[in-house]
Every structure is written in structure tokens, then in C-alpha cells.
Amino acid sequence: MRWSVRLVALAVVLAGVGGSQLAADDGAERLVAAMLGETPMISDLRELTDSIGGRPTGSAANQRSVEWALERFREAGVEARTENFEMPALWLETRAAARVSGAATFSPRVAAKPFSRTTESAGVQAPVVDGGRGSESDLERLGDRIQGAFVLLETDELEDIPGLFAEYANDAAVENRLAQHGVAGVIYQGSRPGNQLYRHNAFRGPKNTLLAAVMERDAAARLLRLVRGGAEVELWLALEAQTGPAYEAHNVIAEIKGSAEPEEFVVIGAHLDSWGLGTGALDNGCNVAMVIDLARQMQRLGLTPRRTIRFALWNGEEQGLNGSWGYVRHHAEELDRHVMASSYDIGSGRLAGFFYSGAPGLGEVLDRALAPVGGLGPYVNLDLPIVGTDNYDFMMEGVSNLVGNQESANYGPNYHARSDTFERVDQRQLRLNGAIAAAVTWGFANLDLELPRATRAQLQEVIDGTDLGQQMWMFGTLEDWETGRRGRSQ
Ligand SMILES: [Zn+2]
């Protein structure tokens, strides 16, 4: 047994010095060098963020960004198309206003949580109660006073990505509890420094029934001090939005055809949509510009991969990973031949490795793919299933998938906030990340590998054996897996 394993390993090493392998490595090196040079990547990012700006799915700016992206690929000579998918509901904030009255009078800035219930233009007025952190005991302590009141919740200042996951988990638990209490609404103290407002989906997404908003941090702290000091204060809140039923939106899919295995696919993706308070530079314009540039450089150098590479700019990500979900449904017949799907979605912090999940041997292929950019490491690759970006539906269809494991850098404080604008992007690091993404994409498109799809039973084992089920609950996708509506059916 031991010997046969060694023989297989030896065969792998020998395969690694074969002629096709050398050609593949040469391609990686040329691509990496091109990505590190002067390219239009930064001017693309500037156009997308400054000229088009914030681009929530369903908005006119989002449609402009789709046309803009198509044009960038075509201008580079890369074949590109739009692919339709269905968004479950339209929700775009049009007005958010608040006023405190009673023991003190002031007008804090607020932002609706996406998919919040809306109000009439006259707004809603109700007493404010101190909801603490929103724990079971915090809410019990309020007794009957919670009925018909605005529940104000204290938060920690958000610093990094672990803090962000904690925020998501806490909001999910709190909104689940509050849904049963007949409150006027829930008001979160803004967690971003500098009183930045931001968007944060209501936990149940389009199924949410709560009135839910974020209040700028310092004003919410003042309001909490007043309430805790025994003052009687009321909040008037008006949240209006353009809402509507399901509608069609578009991903942009560009493609460079494989020479030897054109019917096998490697996907590299970033989401084109953003929220609209800022201009979606860290989340996720910088990685959109990187994906476009990678296609452009590959085409410019005349590099043809063995397998077909699809450069995917997803839409509807922020509102429930809808674009990538649409893709796996649209391409269901091809998923057995999808070798790997990667997502880049954590701003411009250093790409320190990847989260990966999928077939046995995936980590080893990843190591080989990273070899040409060893000098930009070291890399820490973690065999962990990740929910929260566009690898999700590939993962739940059993396709091997990667998520760029980037250092938090300035991602957390600016996450979905007004401050997520062009100048927040670390341009130098974005180039280095582009070089790493180039090597990985090229590697998976050219290396000898076998990464079969996981079955539903195997995926269920991962859910049971890791925190995947907990993550799915937190992002509101567990139910759809359990009912068979979303994810691999067998
Ligand atoms: Zn994102």
C-alpha cells in the first residue's frame, strides 16, 4: 500500500517535468509579470466607482455597470455575454429620516437595513427602549414595555472580519427573537467608526417583516445614555423604498476557450453589484477590476489555457448571492465539468492564501498552482467551507471552490459603508493580489488534476462535521438546502 502511494507520487513528480507542464508554468510567469506591470486596472476601478458609483442590483447604476463591464471585456478582445437570473424582490431605499423628541430633541442620521419593512411618508413614532445587546434576558427585562416600542441595540465597534461575522451572527439571533415581540422596529447602534452609515441585510432578507435601521454610532450612544438615565424619549422614523416583485438581473460572463479541454471549466469571479451609500470600491469594485484585467492580460499575451476559463462578474450578491445561484442553475448540465470556482471579495488586503472546500486533493492542486508566485507568499490555505460570497452555490453543488483569504486591512470599518470609496483601495496590494489570482487561475486551467464533484450525502457530511450548517443558518440559506430548493439534489 505504502509503495503504491509512493509510485503514484513519483508519477506526479515526473508528470510535473513533462513538456506541457513547462509550457503551462511559462504561461503563469508571463501572466504574473503582466499583472504586476502597468495595466488599466486602476483606471477601470476609478471609472466603475467614481463614474458609475454605488450599484445595488435593480438600480439604473447597476445596469450601467453591466454594460460597462461587457464593454471592457470586448474592448480587450475577450468574448463576453450577459446571462439572466431572477432576483426574488426589488428593494432600493429612497428615504431614511429620524428625529428624537421628548427629553431631548435631535435628528440622527439613519439607514434602513435592506429588506426592512417600510413606512408611510408620514413615518412612525414610538417610545425608545434600551434593548441592551438584544439577548434573551435583555428582552425579558423589558417586559411589556417592548410592545410597540423601538428597541435600540448597543453594538461593538467593528474592526475586522471576525468582528463582521460576529455582527452577522448576533443580528440574525436578535431579529429572530424580536420577530415574536410586536415591536415598532429595531434600531442598531452603527458599528462603524466615524459615524459611517452602512447597509446590512435584514436577517430574513426578502422574507423580513421587521422595521429595521442603523443609526449613526455617536447619536445612538447619546440616545442610549438618555434612555439608561431614565429619560422618556420617542423616535420618529420614516423609511421609504422602491419595492417590487421578482425581476430579471444580469451576470457578465467572459470566456477564454480552452485548447485541449474546452468543455472543462475554471471560474474566477467577483461581484459587480454593491450597496449604494459608498461606491463599492473595496466591496467589490477592486476585485472586479482585477478579474477584468486578468482576462485582458491573458488575451493580450495570446495565452490559451488547456481548460476554458470563465471570468464571472456576479450580480445580486449583496441581496442573497443570487447571481452565482442563477449561474449554477443555468449551467447545471456542465457542473460535473467545472473543475474549480474561485471568489475574491475581501477588498484589497493582502491575499494571504485561500479558504478551500471540495474534492480530496484540492489543497495539493492549490499548492502547485501557487508555486509560480511563491515569492509573494507565504500562503496559509485553510480547508474550510465558507458561506457569505459567490463560492456558496458552487460549494453546495459539490464543485471545488476557493475564496481568497485576504487580510482584513481596512475592509471591516468601511464594509458596506459610505466610506467604501476609491481612495480606500490599496493599489499596490491589489496588483500583487492580481498576480496571485493569475497564477491560481492559470494553474487550475492547466495542471493535471482530478477534482470530482461531491454528492449531496458528502455535502451533508461536511455540514454535520463542521460549522457549515451554523454559517448557512446565519446567512438564511439552511432552509433552502434542507427543502432541496437550493444545492445538489443527489
Ligand atoms: Zn462583497
Question: How confident is the model at residue 25, as a pLDDT?
Answer: 57
**Rounded to whole angstroms, what are the CA distances from 385 to 113, 126, 403, 419, 471?**
27, 43, 9, 30, 9
Predicted confidence (pLDDT) at residue 1 exceeds the cutoff of 70: no
Here the CATH number for the domain that contains residue 155 is 3.50.30.30
Task: Identify whether 294 is part of a domain.
Answer: yes
Going 431 to 293 to 65 to 346, the CA torsion angle's sign is negative
Inter-axis angle of helices 60-75 and 286-300, to 10 degrees? 20
Task: Identify whether 188 is part of a domain.
Answer: yes
- CA-CA distance, 344 to 437, in Å (whole number)? 9
Predicted confidence (pLDDT) at residue 14 exceeds the cutoff of 70: no
Rounded (5°) CA angle 342-347-353: 50
Task: Identify whether 7 is part of a domain.
Answer: no
424 Cα–ligand 1 center, Å = 15
For β-strands 79-87 and 212-215, DSSP reports them as unpaired
What one-letter code names the amino acid at 71? Answer: E
489 Cα–ligand 1 center, Å = 27
Give the pLDDT band (50/70/90) at residue 180.
confident
The rounded Cα 80 to chain-centroid distance in angstroms is 22
Do residues 296 and 208 both lie within one domain?
no
**Read out DSSP for 407-462?**
--TTHHHHTTBTT-SGGGS-HHHHHHHHHHHHHHHHHHHHS----PPPPHHHHHHH
**Residue at a domain's end among 195, 220, 244:** 244
State the residue range of the domain holding 187.
90-244
Give the pLDDT band (50/70/90) at residue 179.
confident
236 Cα–ligand 1 center, Å = 32
Question: How confident is the model at residue 341, as a pLDDT?
Answer: 98
Q: Quick one: average pLDDT of 328-355?
A: 98
- As to burial, measured by CB atoms within 10 angstroms (0-12 exposed, 13-18 middle, 19+ buried), residue 17 is exposed
Of 213, 219, 216, whose CA–CA distance to 105 is shortest?
219
Of 152, 151, 209, whose CA–CA distance to 179 is shortest?
209
Task: Identify whether 6 is part of a domain.
Answer: no
28 Cα–ligand 1 center, Å = 27
81 Cα–ligand 1 center, Å = 22
- The grid coordinates of residue 407 equal 487580510
343 Cα–ligand 1 center, Å = 10
239 Cα–ligand 1 center, Å = 24
According to DSSP, residue 281 is labeled I
Do residues 194 and 71 both lie within one domain?
no
Cβ 408 vs Cβ 352: under 8 Å: no
Question: How confident is the model at residue 26, as a pLDDT?
Answer: 87
pLDDT in tens, 21-64: 444 458 999 999 999 999 999 999 999 999 999 999 999 999 99
Predicted confidence (pLDDT) at residue 201 exceeds the cutoff of 50: yes
Do residues 96 and 68 both lie within one domain?
no
Task: Identify whether 488 is part of a domain.
Answer: no
Do residues 273 and 230 both lie within one domain?
no
- CA-CA distance, 442 to 28, in Å (whole number)? 6
End-to-end alpha carbon distance in the chain:
32
**Residue at a domain's end among 225, 244, 263:** 244
389 Cα–ligand 1 center, Å = 7
- CB-CB neighbours of 259 under 10 Å: 12
The rounded Cα 337 to chain-centroid distance in angstroms is 24
Give the pLDDT band (50/70/90) at residue 486.
very high
101 Cα–ligand 1 center, Å = 37
Do residues 334 and 400 both lie within one domain?
yes
Q: Quick one: average pLDDT of 104-118?
A: 97
User: In this predicted model, which residue has the larger pLDDT, 1 or 219?
Assistant: 219
Going 445 to 405 to 395 to 113, the CA torsion angle's sign is negative
Do residues 288 and 394 both lie within one domain?
yes
pLDDT in tens, 223-232: 999 999 999 9
165 Cα–ligand 1 center, Å = 13
Do residues 53 and 189 both lie within one domain?
no
Number of domains in the chain: 2
Do residues 338 and 401 both lie within one domain?
yes
32 Cα–ligand 1 center, Å = 25
Average pLDDT, the chain: 94
Predicted confidence (pLDDT) at residue 10 exceeds the cutoff of 90: no
385 Cα–ligand 1 center, Å = 17
Q: Quick one: average pLDDT of 448-463?
A: 98
Question: How confident is the model at residue 15, as a pLDDT?
Answer: 35
Diameter of the chain measured on Cα atoms: 81
Task: Identify whether 380 is part of a domain.
Answer: yes
Task: Identify whether 304 is part of a domain.
Answer: yes
Out of 71-75, 206-210, 438-442, which region has the weakest mean confidence (pLDDT)? Answer: 206-210
Cβ 34 vs Cβ 63: under 8 Å: no
Do residues 264 and 200 both lie within one domain?
no
Predicted confidence (pLDDT) at residue 324 exceeds the cutoff of 70: yes
Do residues 233 and 252 both lie within one domain?
no
For β-strands 110-112 and 212-215, DSSP reports them as antiparallel
Reply yes or no: is the peptide bond before residue 284 cis, omega within 30 of 0. yes
Question: How confident is the model at residue 186, as a pLDDT?
Answer: 97
Here the CATH number for the domain that contains residue 398 is 3.40.630.10
**Residue at a domain's end among 201, 221, 244:** 244
- The grid coordinates of residue 465 equal 462535521
CA atoms within 13 A on the CB side of 365: 24
349 Cα–ligand 1 center, Å = 13
Do residues 41 and 164 both lie within one domain?
no
9 Cα–ligand 1 center, Å = 39
- CB-CB neighbours of 275 under 10 Å: 26
Cβ 373 vs Cβ 353: under 8 Å: no
Per-residue burial over 295-309, b = 16 or more CB atoms within 10 Å of its CB, e = otherwise = bbbbbeeebbbbbbb
283 Cα–ligand 1 center, Å = 5
Do residues 208 and 282 both lie within one domain?
no
Task: Identify whether 4 is part of a domain.
Answer: no
Going 130 to 131 to 136 to 138, the CA torsion angle's sign is negative
Question: How confident is the model at residue 159, as a pLDDT?
Answer: 87
